[in-house]
Amino acid sequence: MINPHSKRISAEINIPGRKMDFGFNLAALPKYWYGNDAFKSTYMGALSCQFPEGERMFMDAVRDHQDKISDPRLLEQIKGFIKQEAMHGHEHSQFNKFLDTVGYPASKYEAFQKKERIWMRKVIPAKHMLAVTCALEHFTAIMAHQVLTNPEATEGMDEQFKELWKWHAIEETEHKAVAFDVYQEAVGSYWIRIFAMINITIMFTARTSFLQMIFLWKDGQLFKPSTWFSGFKFYFKKPGMVPSLWRDYIDYFRRDFHPWDHDNRELLDQWNEEHSNFKTI
């Protein structure tokens, strides 16, 4: 059974659609905007490339189950979730224009992913698409926690982009349980959820790495030992990605897991205090 305390927290979370417009000054940005580091900058670029279409897929998956939801609070949270993901897609598209201008095939990849999304919606059952969404939302939530709590995760980022990633991380935290709560009410199968997570762990890691390899290859950085040394530190040197994330990742495999078992509401309060004058949509 899902932890009732976590479910209560989930119902309490407000999910506002914030109107954001970072208006990046792309011409002023260095190619390696993240600590002047080719590996870290291309890793984040590879993630960003996948966001606009990936987030459209999440919105579709949740919308496709809306009619099975009767809880008015969850229905209200679904509206916030959709607004937030739409805005993420919009702002990351701006970031992806930057990737195009520095010579990466970001738009080409987005066009491919759009076709893939439309095809997947036709051939994959909706409950599996929702399970995939829950798995990816877990990934984004645990990575977002690192962005917000581990100073090394954002150290050296260009200030314009740092704000984008922090805002995205906050909203991923706010809505981390929406797809999951919809899944529990509309589908509920433990094994479909776990199957999707195993699948996504392989696919998401492989796809991100593949995109990143293309970027590094285009830059002539792929075969440099310094690139791989930086990659090794990024993934494995404490508090790198693997040591920081694996425990939170593994929790997803518990039968009674709920995203708000990782209670990090204080991060939302803190950010909201510092950014109280945003416009809503």
Q: Nearest 5°: phi and psi at 168?
A: -60, -40
Q: Cβ closer to Fe ion: 54 or 240? A: 54
Q: Which two tokens stand for residue 225?
A: 């030992």
Q: Nearest 5°: phi and psi at 95?
A: -60, -40
Q: Where does residue 261 rank: exposed (0-12), middle (13-18), buried (19+ CB within 10 A)?
A: middle
Q: Cβ closer to Fe ion: 139 or 257? A: 139
Q: Cβ closer to Fe ion: 172 or 219? A: 172
Could you give the CA distance from residue 188 to residue 127 in angstroms, rounded to a whole number? 9
Q: Cβ closer to Fe ion: 55 or 158? A: 55
Q: Cβ closer to Fe ion: 219 or 248? A: 248
Window 37-56: contact mask with Fe ion (x via CB under 5 A): ------------------x-
Q: How far is CA 102 from CA 22, 82, 97, 211, 228, in A?
A: 19, 31, 9, 15, 21
For residue 140, the minimal CB distance to Fe ion (Å) is 5
For residue 18, the minimal CB distance to Fe ion (Å) is 12
Could you give the CA distance from residue 185 to residue 120 in angstroms, rounded to a whole number? 23
**For the CA atoms of 143, 144, 145, 149, what is the dihedral angle to 10 degrees?**
110
For residue 93, the minimal CB distance to Fe ion (Å) is 12
Q: Cβ closer to Fe ion: 37 or 55? A: 55
Q: Residue count at the site for Fe ion (CB under 5 A)?
A: 4
Does the protein bind Fe ion through residue 65 (CB under 5 A)? no
Q: Cβ closer to Fe ion: 99 or 144? A: 144
DSSP single-letter state for residue 278: P
Q: Residue for token digits 């099975």?
A: 68
Q: Which listed range, 14-22, 23-31, 144-152, 167-175, lies at the site for Fe ion (CB under 5 A)?
A: 167-175
Nearest residue to Fe ion by CB is: 88
Indicate left, alpha or beta for 58 from its phi (over 0: left) and psi (-120 to 50: alpha). alpha
Which residues from 82-111 bind Fe ion, rule CB under 5 A?
85, 88
Beta-sheet strands, E only, within the chain: 18-19, 279-280
For residue 52, the minimal CB distance to Fe ion (Å) is 9
Which amino acid type is present at position 266? E
Does the protein bind Fe ion through residue 145 (CB under 5 A)? no
Q: Which listed range, 93-101, 171-179, 184-192, 249-257, lies at the site for Fe ion (CB under 5 A)?
A: 171-179
> Which residues of the shown chain bind Fe ion in the complex (CB under 5 A)?
55, 85, 88, 172
